[in-house]
Chain A
Amino acid sequence: MTTTVPPGVGSSVEQPAARPTGLSDRIRAERRLGWMLAGPAFAVMLLVTAYPIFQAVYDSLFSYRLTDPGNRSFVGLHNYWVVLTDALWWQAFGVTAFITIVTVAVELVLGFALALVMLKALKGLRPILRAAILLPYAIITVVSAFAWQFAFDLTSGFVNSWFAWLPGISADTDWFGQTGTSLLVICLAEIWKTTPFISLLLLAGLAQVPDVLQEAAQVDGATWWQRMRKVTIPNMKAAIMVALLFRTLDAFRVFDSVFIMTAGANGTETVSFLAYRQTIARLEIGLGSAVSVLLFLSVVLIAFGFIKGFKVDLSQARGEK
């Protein structure tokens, strides 16, 4: 592995060792320079996210559709009431939660297995594995969604003819005809695409587990499984939590695969797709904004739950999508 990190190195505000303990105006000059350099990036980040979300909150308080802009009127929280009492929202929410839980759970197990193999792989094989595992990560989600859709599709697919020997699968099994099988294919595509990210983070975490501990446990007669449970996993808890947090938040925003494969048909609409459909397709700015704000709040709640519930140390995390 290329990360040659000794355990416990670095925290996000660690200061360089040799710091001039100079005069106070020197410190002030440094502070000013610091903000002058970092300020533009900070301002741009606020501009492209904080501003839109405030605008969305504002818009969500109006009955406002672009097809009828003259009748824009303040309705308070009525849009939220409409959304939250509509079965459509709860169905989209359920589908999103389902996709999130299934994909993240499978990815964690599968990603861990991939990381273990990569850790143990022979030296010559390692660069090839690393390149191979990076490809799904780097490929456009839309392309991955098409690949999986065409594979299961009634006319272009090979899955039906390959797996016809399995009970329930025949030449005319229409995977995108029902909710359950559509969701299955969507989940498969998501899992294929994003497991590499989890496994790379877990691999970095695995590399950090001190060999000494492993050897000590082995000398004490611990089996492979015991070492895994008592030594390896507790020592890489931070890496696991960070990987889980990012994948959960990412999975909750699932959109591309749903758009390509089913376009929300057969009850496969996710929360992101609902927001998109209300705003961009139906031009219902008010209602769409309310859905967007609710999606934003859900993501904030998930992040907050993770940080509080699992005590994820975010100084160990980073801004990966």
Chain B
Amino acid sequence: MSTRERTWWIVAGIGIILYALFPIAWIVSLSFKSASDISNGQFLPTVFTWENYALILTGDASELFLPALLNSFGICLIATALSCLLAMFAAYAIARLDFPGKRIILSTALAVAIFPVISIVTPLFNLWRQIGLYDTWPGLIIPYLSLTLPISIWTMSAFFREIPWEMEQAAQVDGATTWQAFRKVIVPLAAPGVFTTAIIAFFLAWNDFVYGISLTSTSAARPVPAALGLFSGASQFEDPTGGIAAAAVVVTIPVIVLVLFFQRRIVAGLTNGAVKG
């Protein structure tokens, strides 16, 4: 590669990094602006302040934000765990066993994935009110499965299909019991796929907004995105911009941590199913 070409690709690469990070840098910068700086018309704060974080973590807005953060973590982790468990069995069956209906299961997963969430919310809103699931954790965990389960099934079965299942039999020939062969050979091979799937499913649940604002009414179950969307400031006379920016940064931290540690896996998981089917 010539020096000129090399420079060109580096410039293009820096362009991508700027493209991806600029809006994030902006919301971080905004979260450190004091109330008087919010309207300074500049990208950066003139004085650096923690007051917005204090507002949402210990101040007046903490009773809105902290329960929502707890709800988001709890509901998303449970929904992710449930869908991974269900998807694990299904993906094992799809990759390993021969039974009619595999294609039906995969097509159903695809159909569920393209389903407009709002079409599910309308009837659920009414039903949940009648059976008492409105504004509860299970009332969000169940619909979240419609977001997390399809992708879990597709991603995991793509991973599972690559496991050399013959190794299980080879281990049995060498004297391992069925369970030992499964535990010692298959489980370690399957674990990375399950883990990757869990991260992607968690992202999807963490990102939900429609279910969050439609199926909750109090801090009993309202997740962070919905709380942010309905955040009107500590008092009606105060502009909530700084507080929202700080809250946005806090909920973005888990995402950034996962991306930085597991980027290679996430990309493999996202594209695996797409190119391998």
Q: Does B225 contact A (CB under 8 A)?
A: yes
A255 vs B260: C-alpha distance when bound (angstroms):
28
Most B Cβ at <10 Å: residue of A27, A259, A321: A321
Q: Does A148 contact B (CB under 8 A)?
A: yes
Q: Does B166 contact A (CB under 8 A)?
A: yes
Which residue of B20, B26, B166 contacts A18 across the interface (Cβ within 8 Å)? Answer: B166
- Asked if A45 and B93 make an inter-chain contact with CB atoms under 8 angstroms apart, the answer reads no
- Asked if B276 and A9 make an inter-chain contact with CB atoms under 8 angstroms apart, the answer reads yes
B73 proximity list for chain A (CB < 8 A): none
A272 vs B98: C-alpha distance when bound (angstroms):
40
Which residue of A59, A147, A243, A276 contacts B126 across the interface (Cβ within 8 Å)? Answer: A59
Which A35-66 residues have a C-beta within 8 angstroms of B? 35, 37-38, 40-42, 44-46, 48-49, 51-53, 55-56, 59, 66
- Asked if B270 and A44 make an inter-chain contact with CB atoms under 8 angstroms apart, the answer reads no
A147 vs B251: C-alpha distance when bound (angstroms):
13
Which B100-121 residues have a C-beta within 8 angstroms of A? 100-121
- 1/0 per residue, CB under 8 A from B, across A199-236: the answer is 01101110010000000000000000000000000000
Q: What's the minimum C-beta distance from B19 to chain A, rounded to whole angstroms? A: 8
Q: What's the minimum C-beta distance from B142 to chain A, rounded to whole angstroms? A: 6
Chain B residue with Cβ nearest A289? B122
Q: Does B267 contact A (CB under 8 A)?
A: yes
A288 vs B199: C-alpha distance when bound (angstroms):
34
A114 vs B210: C-alpha distance when bound (angstroms):
30
Q: What's the minimum C-beta distance from B8 to chain A, rounded to whole angstroms? A: 9
Among A83-91, A118-126, A173-181, the one that faces the other chain is A118-126
Chain A interface secondary structure, helix, strand, loop or mixed? helix
Which residue of B24, B154, B229, B239 contacts A260 across the interface (Cβ within 8 Å)? Answer: B229
Which residue of A118, A135, A160, A288 contacts B21 across the interface (Cβ within 8 Å)? Answer: A135
A48 vs B119: C-alpha distance when bound (angstroms):
11
Please judge, given known A-B contacts A129-B16, A155-B239, whether A314 and B110 are in contact too, CB under 8 Å: yes
- Asked if A114 and B122 make an inter-chain contact with CB atoms under 8 angstroms apart, the answer reads no
- Asked if A41 and B10 make an inter-chain contact with CB atoms under 8 angstroms apart, the answer reads no
A141 vs B24: C-alpha distance when bound (angstroms):
12
Q: Does A311 contact B (CB under 8 A)?
A: no
Which residue of A122, A131, A315 contacts B10 across the interface (Cβ within 8 Å)? Answer: A122
A288 proximity list for chain B (CB < 8 A): 122
- Asked if A41 and B23 make an inter-chain contact with CB atoms under 8 angstroms apart, the answer reads no
Number of interface residues of A (CB under 8 A): 119
Chain A residue with Cβ nearest B153? A41
- Asked if A296 and B145 make an inter-chain contact with CB atoms under 8 angstroms apart, the answer reads no
Q: Does B258 contact A (CB under 8 A)?
A: yes
Q: Does B146 contact A (CB under 8 A)?
A: yes
Most A Cβ at <10 Å: residue of B21, B90, B142, B203: B90
A109 vs B15: C-alpha distance when bound (angstroms):
15
A26 vs B149: C-alpha distance when bound (angstroms):
30
Q: What's the minimum C-beta distance from A293 to chain B, rounded to whole angstroms? A: 7
Most A Cβ at <10 Å: residue of B98, B147, B259, B277: B277
Interface contacts (Cβ under 8 Å), in number, total 366
A158 vs B122: C-alpha distance when bound (angstroms):
38
Chain B residue with Cβ nearest A160? B41
Which residue of B86, B121, B122, B252 contacts A143 across the interface (Cβ within 8 Å)? Answer: B252
- Asked if B271 and A143 make an inter-chain contact with CB atoms under 8 angstroms apart, the answer reads no
Which B80-105 residues have a C-beta within 8 angstroms of A? 86-87, 89-90, 92-94, 96-105
A144 vs B24: C-alpha distance when bound (angstroms):
8
Please judge, given known A-B contacts A42-B105, A239-B274, A242-B274, whether A156 and B229 are in contact too, CB under 8 Å: no
B105 proximity list for chain A (CB < 8 A): 38, 41-42
Q: What's the minimum C-beta distance from A88 to chain B, rounded to whole angstroms? A: 16
B149 proximity list for chain A (CB < 8 A): 41, 44-45, 48
- Asked if B273 and A49 make an inter-chain contact with CB atoms under 8 angstroms apart, the answer reads no
Chain B residue with Cβ nearest A302? B114
Q: Does A295 contact B (CB under 8 A)?
A: yes
Please judge, given known A-B contacts A135-B255, A279-B122, whether A144 and B103 are in contact too, CB under 8 Å: no
Residues of A within 8 A of B (CB): 1-3, 5, 9-19, 27, 30-31, 33-35, 37-38, 40-42, 44-46, 48-49, 51-53, 55-56, 59, 66, 114, 117-118, 120-122, 125, 127-144, 146-148, 150-151, 153, 155-158, 160-162, 171, 192, 196-197, 200-201, 203-205, 208, 239, 242-243, 246, 249, 252-253, 255-256, 259-260, 272, 275-276, 279-280, 285, 288-289, 292-293, 295-296, 299, 303, 314-321
Task: Other than A1-B267, A132-B21, give 4 A-B pairs with Cβ distance below 8 A.
Answer: A9-B276, A18-B169, A125-B9, A135-B256
Q: Which 5 A-B pairs have the closest CB atoms?
A: A34-B99, A318-B273, A319-B113, A55-B123, A204-B271
24 A-B residue pairs with Cβ-Cβ distance under 8 Å, sorted by A, are A3-B271, A17-B166, A34-B99, A37-B92, A45-B109, A45-B146, A46-B108, A48-B145, A49-B146, A56-B119, A127-B264, A135-B20, A143-B225, A155-B241, A156-B39, A158-B42, A200-B270, A208-B275, A260-B229, A275-B122, A279-B125, A295-B118, A296-B115, A303-B114
